Structure 1
Amino acid sequence: MRPPQFEKSILFLLMLLLSLLAAQTSAGKNKTITNKLGMTFVLIPAGKFVMGSPETEPGRDWNEMLHTVTISKSFYMQETEVTQGQWNALVEENPSAFKDCGAACPMDTVSWNQCMQFISFLNQYEKTTKYRLPTEAEWEYACRAGTATAFYGGNMTEDGCTPVDPVLDAIAWYCGNSGYKNPPDVLRPHPVKTKEPNAWGLYDMHGNVQEWCLDFCKWREIWSFKGRTGVITSTYKNNIVDPLSKTGDHRVFRGGAWHQPPGFLRSANRGYYKPVAKRNSLGFRIVKEL
């Protein structure tokens, strides 16, 4: 039997090799790009990560099983959520419930269908077909940026809105800090890029607004004796490559929002709505394929 130290050494070398391969794949690519609409994108290197959450993580749901996922291709991800200013530049009607928040605030109250239409407009404007929503796996991979904790800033220390979770307070707008008083009163979204980014330079991956993903999903285990509800896909399989769920009449969202407690903002947390749903806490960010 090999000693535990041997196994740890092999794992470390494997992760180091994957990182070097990812770096080589991304060599020569610009780390950030900005399009004609003023949207900035960050290069996310291809790689492998463990998706989901351990059973010991506070706030964990039943459908967050740990499994290894390979993201085989590098891609660009928008450094912020799509803002009202960016939306207004392409779409005449602004459906935001927080127009007074301003052009730097995240777009909200948009359905999955409306997001797809915006992306279609953007592709036409840029004369490309490279823009799309991120897959659920790409979103979590980009959010974690190499971390395995509840948030990219660390583990959760508070499960409610008060007292304020110090880790989450530094990186996200949520129910503990999104008002104008202490304790907060009028909860609302805030301008993007006003909290600390993750290691890959992405802002507001936790909180501010929830973010639509490309994946379809089901929401109930019809044949299960447990009758559980939640995001249900066939993509949570070990050693899966570039997963994308295309089955179900709901759509996945990630990230949590300005009015929610910490458990809903975790990197592994999964949510779902119908594609026509609109919420004042629901927005999106987009990716651009290489």
Structure 2
Amino acid sequence: MRLKSLFTISLFLLIFTLINQSVVLDAFAQNFFINKIGMKFVLIPAGAFIMGSPDSEKGRQKDEKQHRVVITKSFYMSETEVTQGQWDRLVSPNPSSFKLGNYYPMDTVSWYDAIEFIRFLNKREGSRKYRLPTEAEWEYACRAGSQTAFATGDVTTFSCKEPEAALIDHAWYCFNSGGFSPAGNFKPHPVKLLKPNKWGLYDMHGNVQEWVQDACEWRTIWSAGTGTITRTYVDNITDPLETKGGHRVVRGGGWFQNSKYQRCAYRTNYKPVARRNSLGFRIVRER
């Protein structure tokens, strides 16, 4: 009887251990992280990709030269833009032009405002791991393994009066964000209403444009080039980050723009003090 009891106890402990290991493995397999204020982050794996756009891509700009980039470290990226509810938990006042509720993305924030939010978050978490994504990390995460104009397909139209098949279920842009509705309610929308990309990130196309970490030079046609100018668009570059320049790079299209500006490779820039009702941000957390 004693041997039978010992066997029963041992079997119970083994089953208990396996169940707990399974729970741990399942949690790990989900590849996400939730911080103290409830922000969810998705694990983005290290890897290499082709950044920029091919000459044949509709809407391509001169500052989108294709080149191979290596991302050597995996990182966590917030699954959505920073929302007004998340902002209000750390920073006051809320500068958004569209104060519509906790689940709407922040807008009308400068690059410095984004850095201030990150400073408060790092202090709250006792961390130095939160920051803006680099431009390369942003495009890598946006593409989620794709090489098409959007993570979900290629460009078919720049019209705001007819749907872009690759965007309609994934992005708030000029066609579906209210500009052509009878009510004319043209604005950003709550996060996570549309489908995410293959890596679980929402609104990488559309809703609000997003500040990234990189600096850049801005040049006109009269000053040797046009567009967003950095030293990072060269082949086989590793973990690029531009630190030179008086402007800051902005990625992703806004709720009022057509599909040309929603492309993965599209890049623009503003002065870091700029505030626009289409400008927000998302953040990353280093592992």
TM-score (norm 1): 0.87
Deviation of residue 30 (structure 1)?
Answer: 5.9
Looking at structure 2, the residues matched to 30 and 131 of structure 1 have their Cα atoms a distance apart, in angstroms, of 21
Looking at structure 1, the residues matched to 175 and 117 of structure 2 have their Cα atoms a distance apart, in angstroms, of 32
Who is 2:171 aligned against?
172
Q: Identity rate of aligned residues, in percent?
A: 58
Say yes or no: does 1:242 pair with 2:223: no
Instruction: Spell out, residue by residue over 1:24-65, the C-alpha distance to the aligned partner (whole angstroms, 9 max, x if none).
Output: xxxx68601110111000000000000000111111000101
Who is 1:277 aligned against?
274
Looking at structure 2, the residues matched to 29 and 215 of structure 1 have their Cα atoms a distance apart, in angstroms, of 31
- 1:126-275 to structure 2, matched below 5 A, reads 126-179=125-178, 182=181, 185-220=184-219, 227-275=224-272
Answer whether contact 1:156 1:168 (CA < 8 A) is retained: no
Who is 2:88 aligned against?
88
Looking at structure 1, the residues matched to 216 and 222 of structure 2 have their Cα atoms a distance apart, in angstroms, of 20
SS at 2:166 equivalent: helix
Looking at structure 2, the residues matched to 125 and 189 of structure 1 have their Cα atoms a distance apart, in angstroms, of 28
Paired residue type of 1:51: M
Structure 1 residues not aligned, in runs of 5+: 1-27
Looking at structure 1, the residues matched to 212 and 57 of structure 2 have their Cα atoms a distance apart, in angstroms, of 23
Answer whether contact 1:68 1:239 (CA < 8 A) is retained: yes
Deviation of residue 228 (structure 1)?
Answer: 3.0
Looking at structure 2, the residues matched to 278 and 226 of structure 1 have their Cα atoms a distance apart, in angstroms, of 26
Who is 1:54 aligned against?
54
Paired residue type of 1:79: E
Looking at structure 1, the residues matched to 193 and 161 of structure 2 have their Cα atoms a distance apart, in angstroms, of 21
Deviation of residue 185 (structure 1)?
Answer: 2.3
Deviation of residue 180 (structure 1)?
Answer: 7.3
Say yes or no: does 1:119 pair with 2:118: yes
Looking at structure 1, the residues matched to 224 and 67 of structure 2 have their Cα atoms a distance apart, in angstroms, of 23
Q: Which has the larger radius of gyration?
A: 2
Looking at structure 1, the residues matched to 29 and 244 of structure 2 have their Cα atoms a distance apart, in angstroms, of 34
Distance 1:225 1:95, change over 3 A: closer
SS at 2:168 equivalent: helix
Paired residue type of 1:124: K
Looking at structure 2, the residues matched to 213 and 228 of structure 1 have their Cα atoms a distance apart, in angstroms, of 22
Answer whether contact 2:62 2:226 (CA < 8 A) is retained: no
SS at 1:168 equivalent: coil
Who is 1:8 aligned against?
none
Deviation of residue 214 (structure 1)?
Answer: 0.1
SS at 1:171 equivalent: coil
Who is 1:40 aligned against?
40
Answer whether contact 1:176 1:183 (CA < 8 A) is retained: no
Instruction: Spell out, residue by residue over 1:144-201, the C-alpha distance to the aligned partner (whole angstroms, 9 max, x if none).
Output: 0000011111111111211121221110000010017647723100000011100000
Aligned residue-pair number: 261
Paired residue type of 2:158: D
Deviation of residue 225 (structure 1)?
Answer: 7.0
Answer whether contact 2:82 2:105 (CA < 8 A) is retained: yes
Answer whether contact 2:82 2:280 (CA < 8 A) is retained: yes
Distance 1:180 1:252, change over 3 A: closer
Deviation of residue 226 (structure 1)?
Answer: 7.3
Structure 2 residues not aligned, in runs of 5+: 1-27
Distance 1:160 1:183, change over 3 A: farther
Who is 1:104 aligned against?
103
Answer whether contact 1:178 1:184 (CA < 8 A) is retained: no
